[in-house]
Amino acid sequence: MGGLLLALGLSASACATKGFVNEQVAVVDGRVTQVDGTAREALDRAKSAQRLAEGKFLYQVVLSDDSVKFPVDQNALSPEAEARLAELAQRLASENRNVYLEIQGFTDSSGDTAYNEKLGAARAEAVRRYLNKSGVALNRMATISYGEESPVAPNDNPDGRAQNRRVAIVVLS
């Protein structure tokens, strides 16, 4: 008799536990569905933004060839770099389009990361100031520093490091 009561008690408590578990699973399943929908919406928005940005890209000018590379720890523009920027400013004026410039500053990997971020920003700012003096409106330009991120060459030799000390100007419509 005692065994029968024990078995009935266990089966009754198992049913209650099963119902409780089903309720909890339903709550969690609802949350997962909500998060999945939100993630899907975010992915759709990101894909739309990418398509929009791709349609806006016109061209890119990179100041990194031998005549305009930045020396180590320097952000001053060489005469060659100023000449290239003057040509770009003239091109923008002759095209007479409403464009937006994203000026990206880069460094090599020597030095610490925080210093390289500041140096990349200073290089981009030097380009922005020169372009502004050449007639490009400040509200049409933004600067960003990538520091030592996104190298275009290996940083394990002097030539590679020199190629990474650059500024890229992305022209968007």
Please give the average pLDDT of every successive group of 10 residues along the chain, which has 173 residues: 53 60 70 67 66 66 67 87 92 88 92 94 95 94 93 91 90 86
- Axis-axis angle for helices 79-95, 113-133 (nearest 10): 50
pLDDT of residue 118: 95
pLDDT of residue 38: 73
Give the closest residue to 108 by CA, choosing from 66, 62, 156, 169.
156
pLDDT of residue 11: 54
pLDDT of residue 126: 94
pLDDT of residue 50: 61
pLDDT of residue 49: 58
Give 170's strand partners: 60, 102
At the top level of CATH, which class does the domain 54-172 belong to? alpha beta
The pTM of this model reads: 0.65
Q: Which long-range contacts (C-beta less than 8 Å, at least 24 apart) are formed by 112-119?
A: 113/147, 113/148, 116/147, 116/148, 117/145, 117/147, 118/145, 119/73, 119/75, 119/145, 119/147
pLDDT of residue 9: 54
